Structure 1
Amino acid sequence: MINKFKYCVLILFAISITSCSEEFLDRTPTDAISAADALSSQENMQLVLNGIHRGLYSQSQTVFPGGNSARANNHYWVPMGDNLTGDLIHSANANNLSWRSVMQWNEHTDQTSLTTELLWYHRYNIILHANLLINGITEGDFAETEQLNSILGQAYTYRAYAYLSLVQHYAKGYLIGDPTSDPGVPLLFSSDSPFTSEPRSTVQEIYDQIGSDLESAISAFENGAERTGGGAEAKSQLNIDVAYGLKARWALSKGDWATAAEAAQIAREGYALLGEDDWKSGFNTNNLSEVIWGSHVIQAETTFFRSYFYLASNTFNGSQIRNNPKIADRRMVDAIPETDYRKNVFLPDAPNSNTSAANGNGGWENNTNPLYQTEEEFDAAIAEIKSTYGLVSGHNTHPYMHFKLKNANPGSIDPDDVIYMRASEMYLIEAEAKLMMDDLEGAKEALRPLAEARDSAWDADEFNTEEEFFEHIKFQWRLEMWGEGFGYTNHIRWDEGIDHAANGGSGASEVLYQEAFQIDKPSMNDDWIFQIPLAEINANPNLSSSDQN
């Protein structure tokens, strides 16, 4: 299928590999094992699985040939979902790792960009290694054990996860197109060189495959060993709850509301909602009670200036953040009730200390906030924010800056865990799904545990119509999951465009955001669909230039 994979299968487990050539077909215990050795024992299969786990957050050049250090896989792909939709707003011009170019919609619309290429190859790398395990176990003569079923369940779940990511980025949204005819992505089932795939399957065919893989995963998990422990490392292993969570996402994205609601209920069972202190602690560890799945990032994997928080957390000590503090849409922040403690992680009145701020209001000389009548008051407010949140001298402040995402060690470059799935998301999925089934009261009850946990004065009776409550559910999505990457898929599912100018404005700079300041809704604008990498079109005999989105 893909030229990135045509030479060998790499199984990463002890240290990272930076190239892929025939020499790695020979077993090198600390570097790689052959496909045959990978399937020789359950222990080796677990090493393959651990390689997929680690590959989720490693720099891409350590995972597959042709990768690039500028993309540390899910460290980049997770916040990208909110960067694309203008939820994670840039306050100044900083293009480290092409993060500004992504925000301006200049990356995913370019068939030669790193973003389009590396997201594609990373997801297919997951599929390739999942295929290795699935084919080896289902076609082999291994004695069935709980451990083997757990490995198989994780492999099926990973394949479903990767295909869902691919079809949601490289194809038209299920609910806004014609899934029976819209082109999806190529299916790949091989685990042997030369990894030849099929041509682009339809969106429906990809969704059918995802559904089949999730059912196979759940069946395997039901006969497998349970995930042991609830700590950060344990939650990097996939289990039946993750499979149900992905099933809920998959079903919601295609309008199978009943399945989405049911799967979401099952997925969140046993994961207690966060209290106020934990919710405000920074979302930097899998140890949080409601985390269902996340990558436990080990210090040996030196992502540092490639990490999620380098791109998104205002406590990270990196130039992307110090010179360009990330802010939230002021329309959302201003709408948060005073009784909702989530409001406290956003600072509407933070002084604008950055003389390079895109809005031109940076520095005391350009101050427009009447709270600060003197330069001393202005400077004192900056100092207090830096002291409270552990910022270093080079950090700038800006109105509506956030402190939802915070390093465990603020002011450092230490990488933290990357959270992929929380119980809160499942409450939101259930509420939205029930509302789509015209069950207003059921939707209110589904949302109630989450909403009341966050807002002491939340009152379901304030919403009298389905239309009103749908707007409230969307508000809860944006607020609860802010910075966690759900903006892109939410906009496509809701068929909502981007308008930083409407209703008083988001606080984003039109000069900085350029064409991305206002984007038409996905059903009317195919630029929401990622370009297929030109490298793939050139290398894949089953694709041609006519297959480009």
Structure 2
Amino acid sequence: MKTKNILSVLAVSALVFTGCVDLDTIPEGNIVTSDQKDEILESDPSKAEASVNAIYTQFSLFATVITETERHNDIGYPALMLFMDTNGADFLSDDNGYNWMGNSLTFDDRIFTSYESRINWGVLYNQIYAANTVISFLGEDSENPDYQNYVAQAHAARAFDYWVLAQLYQFNYTNHKSDPCVPIITEKNALTVTDEGCPRATVEQVYAQMMEDINKAISVLEDSPLKRRDKRYISVDVAYGIRARINLSMGNWAAAAEDADKAISLSSSSPYTIEQMKRPAFNSADDNSWMWGIKIAETDEVVTTGICNFPSHMGSFNYGYCWYSGGRQINKMLFESIPATDVRKGWWLDENTQSPNLNEDDMEVINTYYGPYTQVKYAPYKGELWTSTNASDIPLMRIEEMYLIKAEGQAMSGNVAGAKTTLESFIQEYRDPEFTCKATSPQDMQEEIYHQRRIELWGEGMSWFDIMRLNKGVDRRGAGYPNASSIFNIQPGDPILLWRLPEKEIQANKALSNNDNNKATPIPSPVPDFGE
């Protein structure tokens, strides 16, 4: 589409589609007819597959949103994972000159001119644009089963993107259905957006769009004969997992549990075992636990940069910014709440910088750069210590999350006994054989499951969604933050928790004005830590 939008951020999208972008136009810019599209596909069927590949390419591109300068955190969706986790209270780091997430530590990222603001918006709407291109080009009525599969994947990817957007730009669905969320751009209105603009839709409207998309995806993928090549692609179990997340965010508890259970039953994945968790891991989509992930190749630009990638910022054993930023630590109180019998306690260094998961060679790296509570959850690429080839895959969905969603959905729909069985069975078999759940009410069960999610999904870009859907605050007191300037006690519902639409979007979108944006809010004031 020559009029690709959302408006200010998609100008560079065409650079990554090479041969598959603007599939609905001919060189003169006129719209291709259905017959012409069929001719294109008949003469070059690879264009159809290339179009869906472009969706997943968007997840890990370097320097495609901020084009006027090089930002080493402009690394695709993993940047959002880091921003969101850093905004919370469980993902600590030192606010020093090597930490590219410093603005997210202090909430300076909420300024609507910030690079982080533009990266959030640009990454997600570029992915939406890629999905729109697939749907528009291949069409909803194709009789080719492969093309039907590609369109279904595009619908699922678009649902995922709007699910993320909804939780960045507005509070939870339950209490804010009629509040403004984000503009909805689909293949149906993309051609009119440049001239007319597109206003913010309500939270309810955005969730309706994502639910429509994911329902379409599931209806096709359930019967599709096409098997995915690898885990970068969305399969039917992943689609059910996405819908389980959406239903969880909407408070559709029974539906969330049902979808999570369906994802488990359809998936070939199984949780990491206790033995597998006694060593650093989480670096390969080939791991059986992973349902969906970002596949990274050694030749990808995010890798060849050396330092502009997720492992560089996140890792502990590989070369990158992590060596100089001091790495990422867990909330000290959260760490102390993990029983010694839980294998996950070894995912972080203890107060003496020790972990039972590490050998002598591992400790040589750790002792060189890191202090207590630093993560050793993520292994380096191919397990090679000191490596500067940061080509690790990045998790987007693991089967363990589905067990936690199922348990929460059961509890909150009134089946506390079933939820307790689901949770205890999962934790006892795969994490802590001595675990017992003491919760007796739906709300207590939900809190216990939230606690388990904070541990299990730590560092995987999931914590912010729980903060928003459960109406939590961000209390960093007692967590062990190294900078007094990062210690906040932000109350639930504080407007600083919402991102603002980027200034460039407000300027470019004719249907938006400054009055349509989320409230401009001063960054939070630091508070005394416990014991001060």
TM-score, structure 2 normalization:
0.84
The question of 1:533 aligning with 2:512 is answered no
Q: Which runs of 5+ in 1 are unaligned?
A: 28-33, 352-380
**Worse-superposed segment, 318-327 or 440-449:** 318-327
1:10-409 alignment to 2 at 5 Å? 10=14, 12=16, 42-61=45-64, 69-70=71-72, 71-90=74-93, 92-96=94-98, 98-107=100-109, 109-138=110-139, 142=142, 144-175=143-174, 177-179=175-177, 181-190=178-187, 195-196=193-194, 197-228=197-228, 234-269=230-265, 270-279=268-277, 280-303=279-302, 304-351=306-353, 387-389=360-362, 392=365, 395-408=368-381, 409=384
- Cα 1:315–1:297 change in 2 (3 A) is same
The answer on 1:420 being equivalent to 2:420 is: no
Gap change, CA 1:239 and 1:67, over 3 Å in 2: farther
Q: Could you list the runs of 5+ residues in structure 2 that have no partner in the other structure?
A: 30-35, 519-532
Give the partner amino acid of 1:545. Answer: N
Q: Taking structure 1 as reference, are residues 14 and 276 closer, same or farther at Cα in structure 2, changes over 3 Å only?
A: farther
Once the two structures are TM-superposed, the CA of residue 96 in structure 1 deviates from its matched residue by: 3.8
1:41-78 deviation per Cα after TM superposition (whole angstroms, max 9, x unaligned): 542121011122111011142x7967954310122112
SS of corresponding position for 2:225:
coil
**Match of residue 453 from structure 2:** 477
Shift in Å at residue 187 of structure 1?
Answer: 1.1
Offset of 1:480 from its aligned partner? 0.8
- Preserved contact between residue 38 and residue 48 of structure 1 (Cα < 8 Å): no
Q: 1:386 to 1:166 in 2, by over 3 A?
A: same
Query: Per-residue deviation at 1:281?
Result: 3.3
**Structure 2 Cα separation of the partners of residues 533 and 322 of structure 1:** 30
The 1-side partners of 2:274 and 2:112 are apart by: 44
Q: 1:194: how far off?
A: 6.3
**What CA deviation, in whole Å up to 9, does each residue of 1:87-132 have, x standing for no partner?**
1111x3324463111111111x110011111211221111112112
Distance 1:65 1:133 in 2: 25
Q: Is the 8 A contact 1:252 1:433 kept in 2?
A: yes
Query: 3-state SS of the aligned residue for 1:305?
Result: coil
3-state SS, counterpart of residue 419 of structure 1: strand
- Counterpart Cα distance in 1 of 2:512 and 2:123: 19
Work out the CA distance in 2 between the residues paired with 1:151 and 1:53: 12
Match in the other structure for 2:434 = 457
Give 1:469 shift.
Answer: 2.9
Residues of 2 paired with 1:313 and 1:265: CA distance?
32
Aligned amino acid, residue 425 of structure 1? E
Comparing 191-200 with 261-270, greater Cα deviation is found at 191-200
What SS does structure 2 have at the residue aligned with 1:77? helix
Partner AA of 2:75 in structure 1: A
Sequence identity percentage: 25
Distance in 1, Cα, partners of 2:291 & 2:310 = 19
Given that 1:432 and 1:470 are in contact with CA atoms closer than 8 Å, whether structure 2 keeps it comes out as yes
Say which SS state the counterpart of residue 205 (structure 1) adopts: helix
Separation (CA, whole Å) in 1 of partners of 2:18 and 2:299: 11
Letter in 2 for 1:418: I
> Given that residues 94 and 320 in structure 1 are in contact (C-alpha distance below 8 angstroms), is that contact kept between their aligned partners in structure 2?
no
Q: Distance in 1 between matches of 2:49 and 2:69?
A: 24
CA RMSD, Structure 1 to Structure 2 (Å)? 3.1
Measured at CA, do residues 25 and 455 of structure 1 come closer, stay the same or move farther in structure 2, by a change above 3 Å? farther
CA contact (8 A) 2:473 2:489 kept: yes
Q: How many residues align?
A: 490
2:489 counterpart (518, 522, 526): 518
**Could you say what secondary structure the match of 1:458 adopts?**
coil
For 1:332 and 1:254, locate their aligned partners in 2 and report how far apart those are by CA, in whole Å: 27
Moved more, 246-255 or 311-320: 311-320
C-alpha distance after superposition, 1:173-210 (max 9, x if no partner): 213x321x200111112486564453111100000010
* Counterpart residue type for residue 104 of structure 1: T
